[in-house]
Homo-oligomer: A and B are copies of this chain.
Amino acid sequence: MSKSYTIPHEVTYYECDINSNMTISSLLAAAILVSEKQSDALGRGSDFVHQLGLGWVITNYQVHIARLPKTGEIVEFTTQATAYNKYFCYRNFWVHSQAGEELVKIESVFVLMDQTTRKLSHVREEVIEPYECEKITKIRRAPAIEKIEQGKTIPYRVRFYDIDGNQHVNNAVYFNWMLDALGYDFLKGNIPEEINIRFDKEIEYGNEVDSCVEIISDESVVKTRHEIRVGGKLCSEANILWKSFEV
């Protein structure tokens, strides 16, 4: 069993939406923080990785939401690197309530990128060893993402505060573009239950971003399809399953 790492987190009002639910972008940002803290604690923080000429990049998230944390709630964020193969590292995150209830589970895929060539690097033993996770040969595939058939497009501009220390748009910001395109009434009345997102291309300051969205709704289910494009090129795509939210 690989090492897990847990930190408590008090959900602030500024991490929440108008329904007092923690936003998906804040949830993911707080999850990444706990994995950074684990890496630091194991002597494998970003300095160690950068010094090898490498950087971590997230390629997929699958987010399963039983209930979103609420403003003022104290929850626990836990992470565990579960397995790796030649190119992919698999890491899970969990958010638990104080009563021990599992609120959110996130499955993620990380890769190591060569900082100079911007190409995929194989997973280096010296980076991964302290996490004590299993080496596997199988490649785990996330469920396929359905393409948009008839969508609408909303333009966004990358803002200065959207970019992080790596000079790229932080992954968490993609969710804001995807979700904001759904509009006030949809977001006020619905809450995500399952999110499957893939990140294909990095986005930089100065890029004009198109957030394309399609809402598919029948009696039993509401789902949305999302694409983030820059100059027509696909940078990220997602499918989200929703449930209706009552305050």
Contact = CB atoms under 8 A, between A and B. Distances in A.
A12 B33 contact: yes
Taken together, the copies of this chain in the complex come to 2
Interface string A1-31: 0000000000011101110100101100110
B18 A33 contact: no
A179 B160 contact: yes
A170 interface: yes
Contact of A180 (B14, B18, B161, B183): B161
Interface string A21-49: 00101100110110010000000000000
A160 B184 contact: yes
Interface residues of A, number: 34
A222 interface: no
A94 to B, nearest CB: 19
A161 B205 contact: no
B180 A160 contact: yes
B165 A180 contact: no
A172 B14 contact: yes
Interface in A145-177: 159-161, 163-165, 167, 170, 172, 176
A187 B160 contact: yes
B161 A184 contact: no
Contacts of A172: 14
A167 B17 CA distance: 10
Contact of A160 (B14, B17, B26): B17
Interface of A: 12-14, 16-18, 20, 23, 25-26, 29-30, 32-33, 36, 71, 159-161, 163-165, 167, 170, 172, 176, 179-180, 182-184, 187, 205-206
22 contacts: A12-B30, A12-B33, A13-B29, A13-B33, A13-B164, A13-B165, A14-B26, A14-B30, A14-B32, A14-B170, A16-B165, A17-B161, A18-B163, A18-B165, A18-B167, A23-B161, A71-B165, A159-B180, A160-B179, A160-B182, A160-B183, A184-B206
